[in-house]
Homo-oligomer: A and B are copies of this chain.
Amino acid sequence: MLLLRCVHSLSRISPRSVQRYQVAPALATCGLHRCSGDQRSYQRAQSPSWTYALTGLLAGTGAVLAYGLQHHKGQQAKTSEVQTTEKISAFPIFSQEEVTKHRSLEDGMWVTYRGSVYDITEFVAMHPGGDKILLAAGGALEPFWALYAVHNQEHVLEILSTYKIGELSAEDVKKQQTVKSSDPYSSDPERHPVLHVNSLKPFNAEPPPEILSDSYITPSAFFFKRNHFPVPQVDPASYRLHVEGLPGGTLTLSLEELKTRFPKHTVTATLQCAGNRRSEMNEVKQVKGLNWGIAAISNATWGGVKLRDVLLAAGYRPDVAQWALHVQFEGLDKDMTGTNYGASIPLNKAVSEEGDVLLAYEMNGEDLPADHGFPVRVVVPGVVGARNVKWLGKIIVSAEESSSHWQQNDYKGFSPGTDWDTVDFKSAPAIQELPIQSAITTPEDGTVIDRDREEITVKGYAWSGGGREVIRVDVSLDGGKTWHVAQLRSSDEGKAPDPSPPLGKAWAWKLWEITAPLPAEIKELEIVCKAVDNSYNMQPDTVPPIWNLRGVLSNAWHRVKVKIREDLSGE
């Protein structure tokens, strides 16, 4: 039955109609690897028509991503119509809760797409993209297909349609959010189940690392979430932003005024949590804080107005710099006592033409999602996530830094010899620009690969704060004894790279990749990466000497161990 269904689907993909694009080695290997575990699908993958068809499907992921997003957006308008049509179908209705239970081969692998529910358990082994399909289990396909836009083709939809088993309940389709007054977090938005949750309330989560390196621009659904409190519900119509502290008095702006009175700018900037990779410090000695892996970092294109323009409209003049040193931000999110989240940045970063600080109302071309600060957040390129205040309520120009806990008594770095008995938070400056960073997103630690693969592809990200451009990533397969230079890119694969940013304005990360032969007679690889920025800053070698009691600024070389399985046939 499965065989028949597949043949039926595949017959629609004529080899003649598919060009033989060159496949990125990682994807090709990945597909073969998955197949090698399943003899039946392996044979199919080797048949010429299947291989070529998939090659075509897989090629140019990056190139068609923009199209895919557009296409997806265009389709959204039609969704309700489609649903109305499909509602009279004979398929049973499932809730999102029920769908979410099906996330493994044992329980079945269910996904949703445009209001329909699909059981793709049997398709998993045949998925040309390999294991990645597992990430989508229990949730919606849309964000994955936005990321891997190759799926936005008629043929793929036809394959998918053969696995349909039901409809998603109308409530879940509409994602109606019933506010339960007893739980301040009950109005938090829905999140994608693929995120690894470090804390549910407040919500703090990161995507699987491999997703990061699959898209130069991280789709908003997968962008790491770092909330301190419940997500505030902000009505865009009544929203007001207050700008205080300047000689002209308070300037108050509605969302509409913000969007219409000032020119719109877009900036592609990477944000990173100060605690990214904290889990590696925890392995040395316990620290306080969320146990982030390597994915509390993401890259997005932000749209909004320049903070500089708004400050000028509010009365900022150069002589203000004689007394003012900081620009404070207050979020609309607050704790149980009513204290709002707050932070500040240096005035010269805020008002500099080169600083590119945005009051952003768009993320990746759409309204800011609730988790990312709807309707307005600050984006401070090159500066630690904590200063990129979300749900922005107030801007205050001041002689003083923000007096908030997060500016004064958190997000600071200390010596490894400093403990909670001796720490003096006044002795260290608040983190602003972050140091050089890089990590390996794939393979993941503990991966086993077959000797007959002959080579290994390693991928990751690299970024530095302060607009310093990453100029090189060195990768070692032997724990740091010998080094190879990785290939950098600042766009999606197959897409023309963005032109080099002006000096000091490299706000976005670089993705990197290297394919190297498997060293002979080695049973385990210790893969290491380290990046260099254009001030030639390097990452420290090891974690213990940079360990600090809050587990911030964890930027030692990233290390991943991979085992090589010598004899595939014997297993």
Contact = CB atoms under 8 A, between A and B. Distances in A.
Contact of A536 (B480, B545, B553): B553
A350 to B, nearest CB: 12
A435 B537 contact: yes
B474 A416 contact: yes
Contacts of A471: 428-429
Q: How many copies does the complex hold?
A: 2
B472 A535 contact: no
B482 A417 contact: yes
Contact of A415 (B418, B474, B502, B534): B474
Given A429-B471, A504-B348, A413 B532 contact: yes
Contact of A535 (B466, B474, B480, B483): B466
A137 interface: no
A540 interface: yes
Interface in A457-495: 465-466, 471-472, 474, 480, 482-485
Interface string A412-453: 010111100000000011011111100000000000000000
A237 interface: no
A379 interface: no
Interface string A553-564: 101000000000
Contacts of A555: 538
A546 interface: yes
Interface residues of A, number: 45
A530 interface: yes
A367 interface: no
A416 B475 CA distance: 11
Contacts of A541: 540-542, 545
11 contacts: A348-B354, A348-B504, A416-B474, A416-B482, A417-B485, A418-B485, A428-B472, A434-B535, A435-B536, A530-B545, A536-B553
Interface of A: 346, 348-349, 354, 413, 415-418, 428-429, 431-436, 465-466, 471-472, 474, 480, 482-485, 502-504, 530, 532, 534-542, 545-546, 553, 555
